[in-house]
């Protein structure tokens, strides 16, 4: 049964539209995800806790494979990574995009084939490069001119490494200024407009141990329209044609990055994957035909759209306070497990679970437990007027860039990740304890 089959009023109102497809209402205001009651998860694993629906992740991987069967789909590990996630992504036939030795080592030690991994990063450390070469990473994406000689030297005269060059195509897109990466005013990539990309490409082609397999761009994140991708794609194909003309080299790959936007609240726009696939394919075919070039293999790198909607965060209410006209509902997590509202002003749609309330809704500000006024998880949300300490709040669309960006602020400890699947719950990542925190502190 899908959520659209449910007769429940919640579903009819579209309130569960941003929840995992497996979400079903249970008695007493509870919800099940992956066949597991959320209140049971909270009781058994304590709060705050992150719940990840394995089927939702797998279905999203499959949707990408089905929409773009001719493309290589790399899951962007920065959105969320764990050993189970590595296995799911591998089993669903995706590759991986990593941006540190940490992500790379975790993936490879969990059994992911290194050849299907691409290493990114605007500032790769010696450790990152050492791990990449030692583990035999498939491709390294060059992000600055100084990297060319560094990678060539690290590979050695008899070695061989496939690389891409990251290009800034001059396209502005993305949900917030901090996550727009398609224009010059930011740190990533090499500019098409000022010729740095062309210059770097020429230098890479001069290095016999580096094999330039293609070009890369990533124009930003949380993009909900197809058009910016088409503009970027056209410019990238134009550059590939110029590379052919200048160097006689036909590059076989074009990596268009990720950034596919999702809805965090019911009614918000999301990038239409089917439309993206159809229009990118058409644009690629036309641009290549116009340039007299064979169509390169398309590569894409979705992160958020694979894992974001598969996650739900559960918090326990610790305090309720009226200050002036504002009702503050304070929970046992906050900006240390989800810095996104504070960083990007993102708005979430928490809901009360675990009891039916008949109280009229009232405008509420859900705040965290951290020592900052900016620790707001969800401002101006409608919650039942009788929300009280002990209640549970569930926040959907919590799978991406929350735990992967979690911090140790106030020594609260990072929450666990519980996978739910076909009625069973299991721990993927355990809660960070005070012992963990203490153990790292080895000074006297």
* Closest CB to ligand LLP among residues 78, 421: 78
Determine, following the binding rule CB under 6 A, whether residue 224 of this chain makes contact with ligand LLP.
no
State which residue, 316 or 370, has the beta carbon closest to ligand LLP: 370
Residues 11-40 that bind ligand LLP (CB under 6 A): none
Exposed e or buried b per residue across 198-227, where buried means at least 16 C-beta atoms within 10 angstroms of its C-beta: bebbebbbebebbebbbbbbbbbbbbbebe
Q: Please say which residue, 205 or 405, places its beta carbon nearer to ligand LLP.
A: 405
What's the half-sphere exposure (Cβ side, CA atoms, 13 Å) at 144?
Answer: 11
Tell me which stretch binds ligand LLP (CB under 6 A): 7-15, 72-80, 198-206, 275-283. Answer: 72-80
Q: Which residue from 25, 182, 189, 258 is in contact with ligand LLP, where contact means CB under 6 A?
A: 258
- Helices 126-135 and 146-155: crossing angle in degrees, nearest 10, is 40
**Which position among 25, 29, 228, 303 is part of the footprint of ligand LLP (CB under 6 A)?**
303
Mask: binding to ligand LLP, 151-190, rule CB under 6 A, as x and -? Answer: ----------------------------x-----------
Identify the residue among 23, 161, 183, 222 touching ligand LLP (CB under 6 A).
Answer: 222
Q: Residue with structure tokens 């076909």?
A: 422
Residue closer to ligand LLP, measured from CB, 213 or 222: 222
Q: Report the candidate in 313, 310, 282, 309 with the shortest Cα–Cα distance to residue 298.
A: 282
| 310 DSSP assignment | G
Q: How many CB atoms lie within 10 A of CB 289?
A: 11
Check the CA dihedral 241-116-299-152 and report its sign.
Answer: negative
Residues with Cβ within 8 Å of 215's Cβ and at least 6 positions away in sequence, in order, are 164, 165, 166, 167, 197, 201, 236, 239, 240, 243, 251, 253, 254, 255
Is 257 a binding residue for ligand LLP by CB under 6 A? The answer is yes
Classify 211 as helix, strand or coil: strand
**CB contact at 8 A, 268 and 244:** no
Cβ distance to ligand LLP smaller for residue 303 or 415: 303
Out of 61, 217, 288, 371, pick the active-site residue. 371
The two three-digit tokens of residue 346, written as one number: 């993102």
Cα dist from 273 to 60, 311, 326, whole Å: 10, 20, 39
Position 147 contacts ligand LLP (CB under 6 A): no
302 binds ligand LLP (CB under 6 A): yes
345/114 Cα distance (integer angstroms):
36
Instruction: Using the rule CB under 6 A, give the single segment among 153-161, 215-223, 230-238, 408-416 that binds ligand LLP.
Output: 215-223
Sheet holding 36-37, edge to edge: 24-25, 31-33, 36-37
Asked if 76 interacts with ligand LLP (CB under 6 A), we say yes
Residue 99 catalytic? no
Residue 54 in contact with ligand LLP, rule: CB under 6 A: no
Q: Specify the residue, 304 or 316, whose C-beta has the smaller distance to ligand LLP.
A: 304
CB contact set of 408 (below 8 Å; sequence gap of 6+): 336, 414, 432, 437
Mask 347-376, x = binds ligand LLP (CB under 6 A)? ------------------------------
Assess 221 for contact with ligand LLP (CB under 6 A).
yes
- How far apart are CB 226 and ligand LLP at their closest, in Å? 14
Of 303 and 413, which has the nearer Cβ to ligand LLP?
A: 303
2 burial level (CB within 10 Å; 0-12, 13-18, 19+): exposed
- Binder to ligand LLP among 19, 395, 401, 415 (CB under 6 A)? 401
What is the maximum alpha-carbon separation in the chain?
Answer: 73
**Per rule CB under 6 A, is residue 120 in the interface with ligand LLP?**
yes
**Closest to 79 (Cα-Cα) out of 268, 302, 276:** 302
Based on the shown chain and the rule CB under 6 A, indicate whether residue 97 belongs to the binding site for ligand LLP.
yes
Residues that bind ligand LLP (rule: CB under 6 A) add up to a total of 22
Interface with ligand LLP, residue 340, by CB under 6 A: yes
Bridge partners, 214 (sequence order): 164, 253
For the CB of residue 143, give the shortest distance to ligand LLP in the complex, in Å: 9
Residue 408 sits at φ, ψ, to 5 deg, of -95, 20
344 is a contact residue toward ligand LLP (CB under 6 A): yes
Among 90, 92, 283, 301, interactor with ligand LLP by CB under 6 A:
301
Q: 3-state DSSP call for residue 64?
A: helix
Q: Residues 260, 351, 370, 421: which binds ligand LLP (CB under 6 A)?
A: 260
Give the binding site for ligand LLP (CB under 6 A): 76, 78-79, 97, 120, 179, 218, 221-222, 257-260, 301-305, 340, 344, 401, 405
Please list the active-site residues: 371
């Amino acid at each position: 049964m899908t959520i659209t089959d449910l007769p429940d009023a919640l579903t009819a109102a579209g309130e569960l539209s941003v929840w995992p497809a497996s979400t079903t209402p249970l008695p007493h205001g509870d919800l099940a995800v992956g066949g597991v009651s959320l209140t049971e998860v909270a009781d058994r694993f304590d709060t705050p806790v992150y719940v990840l629906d394995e089927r939702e992740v797998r279905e999203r991987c499959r949707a990408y494979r089905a929409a773009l069967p001719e493309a290589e789909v790399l899951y962007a590990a920065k959105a969320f990574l764990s050993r189970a996630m590595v296995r799911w992504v591998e089993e669903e036939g995706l590759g991986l995009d990593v941006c540190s030795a940490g992500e790379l080592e975790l993936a490879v030690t969990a059994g992911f084939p290194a050849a299907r991994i691409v290493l990114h990063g605007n500032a790769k450390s010696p450790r990152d490069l050492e791990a990449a070469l030692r583990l035999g990473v498939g491709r390294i994406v060059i992000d600055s001119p100084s990297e060319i000689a560094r990678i060539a030297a690290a590979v050695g005269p008899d070695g061989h490494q496939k690389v891409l060059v990251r290009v800034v195509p001059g396209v502005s897109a993305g949900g917030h200024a901090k996550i727009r990466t398609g224009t010059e005013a930011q740190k990533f990539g090499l500019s098409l407009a000022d010729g740095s990309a062309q210059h770097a490409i020429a230098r890479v082609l001069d290095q016999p141990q580096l094999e330039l397999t293609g070009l890369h761009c990533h124009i930003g994140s949380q993009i909900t329209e197809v058009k910016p991708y088409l503009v970027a794609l056209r410019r990238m194909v134009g550059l590939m044609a110029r590379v052919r003309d200048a160097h006689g080299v036909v590059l076989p790959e074009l990596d268009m990055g990720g950034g596919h936007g999702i809805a965090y609240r019911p009614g918000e726009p999301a990038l239409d994957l089917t439309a993206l696939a159809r229009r990118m394919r058409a644009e690629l075919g036309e641009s290549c035909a116009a340039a007299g070039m064979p169509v390169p293999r398309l590569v894409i790198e979705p992160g958020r759209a694979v894992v974001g909607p598969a996650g739900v965060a559960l918090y326990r209410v610790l305090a309720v306070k009226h200050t002036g006209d504002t009702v503050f509902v304070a929970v046992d997590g906050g900006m240390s497990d989800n810095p996104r509202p504070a960083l990007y002003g993102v708005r979430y749609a928490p809901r009360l679970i675990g009891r039916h309330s008949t109280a009229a809704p009232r405008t509420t500000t859900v705040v965290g437990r951290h020592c900052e006024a900016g620790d707001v998880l969800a401002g101006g949300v409608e919650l039942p007027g009788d929300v009280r300490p002990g209640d549970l709040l569930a926040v959907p669309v919590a799978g991406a860039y929350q735990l992967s960006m979690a911090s140790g602020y106030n020594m609260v400890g990072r929450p666990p990740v519980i996978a739910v699947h076909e009625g069973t719950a299991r721990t993927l990542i355990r809660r960070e304890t005070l012992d963990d925190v203490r153990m790292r502190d080895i000074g006297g």
